[in-house]
Structures are given as C-alpha cells and as structure tokens.
Amino acid sequence: MTFAETHRYDDIIDLPHHQSSRHPHMSMHNRAAQFMPFAALTGYDEAIAKVAARVRNQDDEQR
C-alpha cells in the first residue's frame, strides 16, 4: 500500500511543542500513574478471595 505524499503540515511540523503557562509540567511518574490499572470496585478482590476460600473449604470437606 502506498500513501500519497502531502505537505499539509509543513508550516507547523518544526515548531516547538506547546507548554502551558497555566499548568505545570507533569512528571513522568505522575503521567505513568494516569495509565496504571486501578480497582474500580473497592474491596471487590477481597470479596472474591473470601468466596473462593469458602468454596475451596467446602470442596475439601466433601472429599
């Protein structure tokens, strides 16, 4: 597949990246935290673990 060459952004391609004067630059650590997984339901993992343990115990008792 070939792409047609365009020059639509030639006037802005070499401009410096914009930096806001109102908002401070975000550190790499804080930026990475924006994309980290999180627990949407607080305590859900603990509740699942408790039920799983209960089921395992019932299964062990039946053997």
Maximum Cα–Cα distance across the chain: 75
Task: Note the Cα 15 to chain centre separation in Å.
Answer: 30
Q: How far apart are CA 63 and CA 55, in angstroms?
A: 13
pTM of the model as a whole = 0.38
Name the strand (E) or helix (H) holding 46. Answer: helix 44-62
pLDDT score at 49: 95
pLDDT score at 3: 83
pLDDT score at 62: 82
| 10-residue mean pLDDT series, the chain (63 residues) | 87 94 93 84 91 91 79
